[in-house]
């Protein structure tokens, strides 16, 4: 995780690309290798000798990473604006008609203060009746437009909810994405601070995933990512949140769960992942089994989210150093870190 971030920053420093968030996201994605099409394009650019630039980075970002969610959000916003404008026009028209009707009533009141001949009284009555009918028709049209607007706005609200839900999901694994995780962890920490209930974090990384990808291809690797995501999600419950943290790393937020309970959850997930035998769908080739390493940490009062994540990350890499396919909690972190570090470049 830190290696990917450092690689992205190094590429930004070496190039003429400004360190804007979209460009960092672009190079971070390249560093993780989770988007083969993007990596192939960037590798081809490197081989061609084309100097990197902000314009080139923006082109690549728009092609490979920019979601259509922004366009859909803009469309919903435009429709909402048009509907609100229509409602305002209808209300303005009704107010003009109401003002005219009020004026007609005032004029009729003035006329009635005088002695009117029967014919003049009849004319006045007809005029008031016509004004009343016009006011009634205007109100009827306003009601129709408001009802239509109510239905349209309800539909627009559903569209906005759909867009928001999609923006919070990882497009490959269909579980929560990094943005959703960040918000979920912040909310969980706030709840833990208020209630005093425990809160734990599980961070897991698929063992030797890069080697697996290189051997069997990215499409098969994507299937593994989906499998791990669904396995993680199916082994948590309630207010727990499973998310893809980045690349082959996943995370689970466990509110109202202490370290002992979180260790049980992590161990169940580890066993479930290891128990699944992989089969390449296109050839029915048996690919063996995969495993994952886990780090588990419990929230400490008043600490920042980044500190909790860092501790879970240290536990995860301690599990890697200790031989992979195991769960390490912060309670055993010192003991594990004393084991001589192994080469985990292909974690």
Residues 66-103 pLDDT 10s = 655 556 555 666 666 666 677 677 777 767 777 776 77
Catalytic residue among 137, 166, 248, 285: 248
Q: How many CB atoms are closer than 10 A to CB 270? A: 22
End-to-end CA distance of the chain: 11
Partnered with residue 241 across adjacent β-strands are 253
Cα–Cα–Cα angle for 204, 170, 305, nearest 5°?
Answer: 55
Identify which has the larger pLDDT, 211 or 274. 274
What sign does the dihedral 139-141-142-147 (CA atoms) show?
A: positive
Is residue 248 among the annotated active site residues? yes
pLDDT in tens, 26-67: 887 788 776 777 888 888 887 887 777 777 887 787 777 665
145 vs 151: CA distance, rounded Å: 10
63 vs 29: CA distance, rounded Å: 13
56 vs 45: CA distance, rounded Å: 10
Does this model's pTM top 0.95? My answer is no
3-class secondary structure, 202: strand
Closest by CA to 249, choosing from 308, 295, 180, 200, is 295
Partnered with residue 202 across adjacent β-strands are 252, 296
Closest by CA to 253, choosing from 196, 193, 299, 194, is 299
Closest by CA to 266, choosing from 280, 254, 282, is 254
Q: Which fold is adopted by the domain 178-337? A: Alpha-Beta Plaits (3.30.70)
Q: How confident is the model at residue 342 (pLDDT cuts 50, 70, 90)?
A: very low
Question: Domain residue spans in the chain?
Answer: 2-64, 69-167, 178-337
């Amino acid at each position: 995780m830190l290696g990917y971030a450092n690689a992205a920053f190094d590429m930004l420093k070496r190039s003429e690309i400004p360190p804007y968030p979209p460009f960092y996201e672009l190079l971070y994605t390249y560093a993780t290798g989770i988007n083969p099409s993007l990596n192939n394009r960037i590798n081809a650019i490197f081989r061609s000798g084309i100097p990197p630039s902000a314009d080139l980075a923006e082109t690549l970002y728009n092609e490979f990473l920019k979601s259509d969610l922004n366009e859909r959000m803009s469309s919903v916003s435009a429709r909402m604006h048009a509907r609100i404008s229509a409602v305002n026009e209808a209300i303005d028209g009704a107010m003009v008609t109401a003002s005219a009707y009020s004026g007609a009533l005032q004029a009729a009141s003035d006329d009635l203060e005088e002695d009117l001949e029967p014919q003049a009284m009849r004319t006045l009555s007809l005029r008031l009746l016509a004004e009343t009918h016009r006011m009634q028709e205007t109100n009827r049209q306003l009601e129709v437009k408001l009802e239509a607007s109510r239905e349209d706005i309800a539909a627009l609200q559903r569209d906005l909810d759909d867009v928001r839900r999609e923006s919070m999901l990882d497009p490959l694994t269909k579980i929560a994405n990094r943005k959703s995780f960040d918000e979920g962890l912040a909310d969980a920490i706030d709840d833990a601070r208020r209630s005093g209930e425990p809160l734990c974090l599980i961070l897991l990384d698929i063992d030797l995933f890069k080697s697996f990808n290189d051997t069997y291809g990215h499409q098969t690797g994507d299937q593994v990512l989906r499998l791990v995501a669904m396995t993680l999600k199916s082994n948590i419950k309630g207010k727990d949140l499973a998310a893809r943290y980045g690349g082959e790393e996943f995370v689970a937020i466990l509110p109202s769960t202490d370290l002992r309970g979180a260790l049980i959850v992590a161990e169940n997930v580890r066993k479930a992942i290891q128990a699944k035998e992989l089969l390449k769908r296109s050839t029915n080739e048996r690919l063996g089994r995969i495993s994952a390493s886990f780090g588990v940490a419990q929230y400490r009062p008043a600490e920042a989210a980044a500190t909790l994540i860092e501790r879970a990350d240290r536990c995860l890499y301690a599990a890697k150093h200790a031989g992979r396919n195991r769960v390490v909690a912060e309670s055993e972190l010192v003991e594990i870190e004393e084991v001589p570090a192994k080469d985990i470049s292909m974690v």
